[in-house]
Amino acid sequence: MIGVNVNSLPYQSKINHHLIKYLRLCRNMSQEQFGQVCKIDQSVLARLESGAIELSINYETKILEGCRSLNISELEMSSVKRIVDLKQQRGIL
Cβ burial, residue 35 (10 Å; 0-12/13-18/19+): buried
pTM over 0.75: yes
CATH number at residue 31: 1.10.260.40
User: Is the pLDDT assigned to residue 67 strictly greater than 60?
Assistant: yes
- Whether 8 maps to a domain, the answer reads no
Q: Does 9 map to a domain?
A: no
> pLDDT tens for residues 31-45?
999 999 999 999 999
pLDDT tens readout for residues 10-24: 667 889 999 999 999
Domain interval for residue 58 = 15-89
Give me the amino acid identity at 47: R
7 located within any domain? no
Alpha carbon distance 74, 49 (integer Å): 20
